Every structure is written in structure tokens, then in C-alpha cells.
Amino acid sequence: MVYRFTIISDEIDDFVREIQIDSEANFLELHEAILKSVGYSNDQMTSFFICDEDWEKEKEITLEEMDNSSEDDNWVMKDTLLSDLIEDEKQKLIYVFDYMTERSFFIELSEIITGKDLDKAICSKKYGEAPKQTVDFEELTATSTSLDLDENFYGDETFDSEDFDAEGFDVDINSIADESFDKESL
């Protein structure tokens, strides 16, 4: 079985990546495919979060083993298969790629392709420039006038969670112009 993931950013409107990967691959392979598709280096702490339909974080899958004495399950990318935690189309994930400033990609399982297997992940759609991998706090505060962390945290007073498409991303990746992009093996 092959999973087709759609990846978007809340920082850049026209950024879309589509990754196809075997369902029996592990989260580390998905992590590496995402890094390659956006041109990021593999020297940052990252995590995946399995989310509910409202993007609330439920389970964390970490890059490295965290010595956590809590009773919660510890999920590590290299030891966790995608199929262990992802079963249904429209499953939502968050991929935190910059821990210092909590920057992340939003990922949705767009399609489950049965009867097909992949040896390596492929980036099947690539549109727009990826956001910078890291920004420092001075740069972040210089570009934003204030960090308002009250109920208007999502940007401004006009934010309305009802604006999000309940059935998934409000992005039609098929209508985005394909900049003569060839599928690349990751």
C-alpha cells in the first residue's frame, strides 16, 4: 500500500509538496523525504504529531529517543512504521521542523493507494518555495510587530476556525500550475 501525503505551510501560501511513500516505511523515511523535498539539512530536532480532525496534537513521534519516565508511550521515528499510527485517509499530522520557534508543516494523508508498493519515497508534486528552515528570535520579532498569544493567536481578530475546510485542506493541488516538475525519487 502507498500513502500519498499533501504538505502545506502556514507561512507560504503557494507552498505544496506531495510525498508518496510505502505504508510500511517508518517515520524516519518520511522525515528524510520531507527534508529532501524542501532542501533542508538533517541537523535539527524534529517531531511528527498525529492530530485529531481539529489539528489537536495527540501522539508525538520524535527523531531521537527521549528519556521519558512518564507512562505515556514513546514513539521514535526509526522504530515506528507509518501503518502503526496512520490508517485512514484525511489523517492529519504536524511536522515540527524548527523547535525553537515552533514552526511546522501541516500534513494530510490525501490518498491510500492499494495494490502498489514503493521501494523509496518520491516527491510527486513540488510547488512553491519552502520557508527558511530556521529563523532566530530576533528575526522573528523583527518581522512580527507583536506576539499576541491570547484568543487572537492565529493572526488577527478576523481569524475564524470555521474558515478551514472540515473535509481537509482547502487546497486543490491539481489546479496548481505544474512548473514542469518531474517526479523525483527521494
CA distance 109 to 129: 21
What is the predicted pLDDT for the residue at 147? 47
Q: How many CA atoms lie within 13 A of 97 on its CB side?
A: 28
Domain of residue 163, CATH code: 3.10.290.30
Among 44, 147, 141, smallest CA distance to 100 is for 44
Among 121, 124, 115, smallest CA distance to 1 is for 115
Strands 75-76 and 57-62: parallel
Tens of pLDDT along 22-56?
999 999 999 999 999 999 999 999 999 999 999 99
Question: Can you give the residue range of the structural domain that contains 139?
Answer: 2-185
Number of domains in the chain: 1
Which portions of the chain are predicted below pLDDT 50? 145-148, 153, 177, 179-180
What is the predicted pLDDT for the residue at 74? 83
For the entire predicted model, the pTM comes to: 0.74
